[in-house]
Amino acid sequence: MRPRFLRNRGQAEQEPDPSGSPDPTIVRASDPEPEPEPELQPEGTANPPREWNLWELERVAREHPSDDGAQNEERAYLLIYLRDFAGSDGTLPADFDGLVHDAFGDLLHVVAT
């Protein structure tokens, strides 16, 4: 048994209860801390999905290549794939907004609105 002055001094684990029942207030150092809940934005404050113009995305990708060759290649393949879904004027459905943000996020400030 520990001396009295060493008990409950912020140790992660306490001595087991002599009765053998686990103490639910014991916090073990190996237990992971729960992740915080993601903060939800109030309705109406997030940007609604946008319809992007494929031709404009191609122009921006061509004029502002990334230093990462793999990223440039991925964007080129994605642009070819997206042609199947674009309208004759190059407009992509708003359903592709998330995909466009993921692939071209660092270039979207250059795309004409």
Could you give the CA distance from residue 86 to residue 80 in angstroms, rounded to a whole number?
10
pLDDT given for residue 1 in this prediction: 58
Higher pLDDT, 37 or 102: 102
Contact 66, 105 (CB under 8 A): no
Q: Which residue has the higher pLDDT, 99 or 30?
A: 99
Confidence grade of residue 88 (pLDDT, cut at 50, 70, 90) = very high
Band (pLDDT 50/70/90 cuts) for residue 82 is: very high
Whole-number pLDDT of residue 24: 60
- Rg over alpha carbons for the chain, rounded to the nearest Å, is 27
Instruction: State the pTM of this model.
Output: 0.55
Please give the structure tokens belonging to residue 26.
């014991």
Identify the residue whose tokens are 């103490």.
23
**C-alpha dist (Å) from residue 19 to 2, 14, 23, 28, 86:** 17, 14, 10, 19, 71
pLDDT tens digits, one per residue of 14-71: 555 566 656 666 656 666 677 776 655 555 546 788 899 999 999 999 998 888 889 9
From CA 93, how far away is CA 102, in angstroms rounded? 16
Phi, psi of 91 (to 5 degrees): -75, 130
b or e along 84-99 (b: 16 or more beta carbons within 10 Å of the residue's beta carbon)?
A: eebeeebebeeebbee
**Contact at 8 Å (CB) between 56 and 90?**
yes
